[in-house]
Chain A
Amino acid sequence: DQQVKQNSPSLSVQEGRISILNCDYTNSMFDYFLWYKKYPAEGPTFLISISSIKDKNEDGRFTVFLNKSAKHLSLHIVPSQPGDSAVYFCAASGNTPLVFGKGTRLSVIA
């Protein structure tokens, strides 16, 4: 049973617009959430994270929002750039190894 769900396998956005990637989780014990970015033929790299005691965390063009009551988090990228084209994985931890979603492939079109 999937504990971390990314229901959109792919997303296309025009350069300069906002990209919104969504993630849902089912395990109430998760208390830390992360987004990883992955380019082809490379390992995933850490992008941004948020603790369950917060509802928002910003880092430059990237913002993660957490809605604990809905068990939902989202990653906003503003403005989107062609170099942002990659697969984005949502991950969650609750004193256990990270559990990852299936990923969303983001394509930013120039």
Chain B
Amino acid sequence: DAEITQSPRHKITETGRQVTLACHQTWNHNNMFWYRQDLGHGLRLIHYSYGVQDTNKGEVSDGYSVSRSNTEDLPLTLESAASSQTSVYFCASSPTGINYGYTFGSGTRLTVV
């Protein structure tokens, strides 16, 4: 069965460290997205990609970067982790040309201490 997996499920890191969160999907979807979920803010878009070598900034992109070298993966990198980046991170994917019907991963809970 096709799926979208995120790893790790939980991560604790120190302020200032570089952290990479993985997202891998086997749906063969061209569109991939990263959101963060925080109490009182809902889901906010960090970065997204509509295909290989395509990346775009979302609403809360400062301090984050992504790269898309293949269809299956969209890793999210925190260049220098800050306590404000403590959050739950969700990756999602959707078929080409469709901006709805996202399939979400199970999330990564990141704590920056």
State whether B42 touches A100 (Cβ < 8 A): yes
State whether A44 touches B104 (Cβ < 8 A): yes
Per the bound structure, the CA–CA distance linking A93 and B58 in Å amounts to: 14
Q: Is A43 an interface residue (CB 8 A)?
A: yes
**Number of A-B residue pairs at CB separation under 8 A:** 54
Please, could you name 11 A-B residue pairs with CB atoms under 8 Å apart, sorted by A? A6-B42, A34-B100, A43-B107, A45-B104, A91-B43, A91-B100, A93-B100, A95-B99, A97-B33, A101-B42, A102-B41
Known: A42-B106, A43-B90, A97-B33. A32 touches B42 (CB 8 A): no
Per the bound structure, the CA–CA distance linking A98 and B33 in Å amounts to: 10
Min distance, Cβ B49 to any Cβ of chain A, angstroms: 10
State whether A44 touches B100 (Cβ < 8 A): no
With CB as the reference atom, state the residue of chain B lying closest to A45. B104
User: Which residues in B have some Cβ–Cβ distance to A below 8 Å?
Assistant: 33, 35, 40-45, 48, 58, 90, 92, 99-107
State whether A100 touches B106 (Cβ < 8 A): no
State whether B104 touches A96 (Cβ < 8 A): no
User: Which residues in A have some Cβ–Cβ distance to B below 8 Å?
Assistant: 6, 32, 34, 36, 41-46, 49, 89, 91, 93, 95-103
State whether A44 touches B99 (Cβ < 8 A): no
Residues of B within 8 A of A49 (CB): 100-101
Per the bound structure, the CA–CA distance linking A91 and B35 in Å amounts to: 13
Residues of B within 8 A of A102 (CB): 40-42
With CB as the reference atom, state the residue of chain B lying closest to A94. B99
**Which residue from A41, A97, A100, A101 sits with its C-beta under 8 Å from B99?**
A97
